[in-house]
């Protein structure tokens, strides 16, 4: 079982990284393989809606997005962490997630997703909501904890003092590990739910 973690912060050892590292410790205790990918300090441009990924099977911009795609496909779970910028996730991680999810055609059905946000004071729940929507549009069950998945602080040292936030991260990792194992067992026992396709509501003529 493998969990892929994305750090959307430009700071390799900052607040978001501290939260993700707390989760990694628990994942390893639970016997989960982990890989952390640093996204926030990379130059990631946004999707330009060119449609090339439908033909090429990958994004036309050959960068970290395409490097991460096969790792995402092989993973059983995905954790996305981001700092809060102006009440929203980091623009770099949003561009990365837009392209990663849109350009990949493999099924994400029943991969477990979790989002983690760090902030000094506010904007956390709004950012949390934005990140979770990547999962819920992709049939990915969302892991939760005993509180919203967030830590507070202006520095990594501040976050280490946020005992409730770190506790939330540990509980989140335990819940996520459980879900990953439970879904794996259920797939073997019951198979996966049938998915309907074909209906596409659109009103081009305004009716």
The candidate with the shortest Cα–Cα distance to 133, out of 97, 173, 172, is 97
Instruction: Out of 3.40.50.300, 3.40.50.360, 3.40.630.30, 3.40.50.2000, select the CATH number for domain 2-190.
Output: 3.40.50.360
Structure tokens at 201: 């509501």
The model's pTM is 0.95
Quote the CA–CA distance of 186 and 191 in Å, as a whole number: 7
Give the mean model confidence (pLDDT) for residues 5-12.
Answer: 98
- pLDDT tens, 79-130? 999 999 999 999 999 999 999 999 999 999 999 999 999 999 999 999 999 9
The candidate with the shortest Cα–Cα distance to 119, out of 9, 1, 5, is 9
Q: Where are the beta strands (DSSP E) in the chain?
A: 2-7, 33-38, 77-85, 88-89, 112-119, 150-152
Structure tokens at 3: 């969990």
- pLDDT tens, 12-35? 999 999 999 999 999 999 999 999
Question: Residue 157 burial (CB < 10 Å; 0-12/13-18/19+)?
Answer: exposed
Give the mean model confidence (pLDDT) for residues 6-11.
Answer: 98
Is the pLDDT at 207 greater than 60? The verdict is no
Whether the CB-CB separation of 41 and 72 falls below 8 Å is answered with no
Confidence bin at 206 (pLDDT 50/70/90): low
Angle between helices 163-190 and 15-29 (to 10 degrees): 50
The candidate with the shortest Cα–Cα distance to 165, out of 128, 133, 113, 135, is 128
> At a CB cut-off of 8 Å and minimum separation 6, what does 80 contact?
5, 6, 8, 93, 97, 113, 114, 115, 116, 131, 134
By DSSP bridging, strand 2-7 and strand 88-89 are: unpaired
What values do phi and psi take at 125, rounded to 5?
-70, -35
């Amino acid at each position: 079982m493998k969990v892929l973690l994305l750090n959307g912060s430009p700071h390799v050892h900052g607040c978001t990284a501290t939260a993700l590292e707390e989760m990694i410790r628990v994942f390893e205790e639970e016997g989960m393989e982990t890989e952390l990918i640093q996204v926030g300090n990379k130059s990631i441009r946004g999707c330009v809606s060119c449609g090339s990924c439908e033909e090429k099977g990958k994004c036309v911009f050959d960068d970290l997005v395409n490097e991460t795609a096969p790792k995402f496909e092989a993973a059983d779970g995905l954790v996305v962490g981001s700092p809060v910028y102006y009440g929203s996730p980091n623009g770099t991680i949003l561009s990365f997630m837009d392209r990663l999810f849109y350009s990949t055609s493999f099924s994400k059905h029943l991969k477990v997703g979790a989002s983690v946000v760090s902030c000094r004071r506010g904007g956390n729940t709004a950012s949390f909501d934005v990140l979770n929507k990547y999962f819920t549009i992709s049939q990915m069950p969302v892991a939760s904890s005993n509180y919203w998945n967030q830590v507070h602080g202006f520095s990594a040292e501040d976050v280490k003092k946020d005992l409730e936030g770190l506790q939330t991260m540990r509980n989140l990792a335990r819940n996520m590990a459980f879900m990953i194992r439970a879904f794996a067992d259920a797939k073997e026992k019951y198979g996966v739910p049938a998915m309907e396709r074909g209906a596409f509501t659109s009103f081009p003529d305004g009716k």
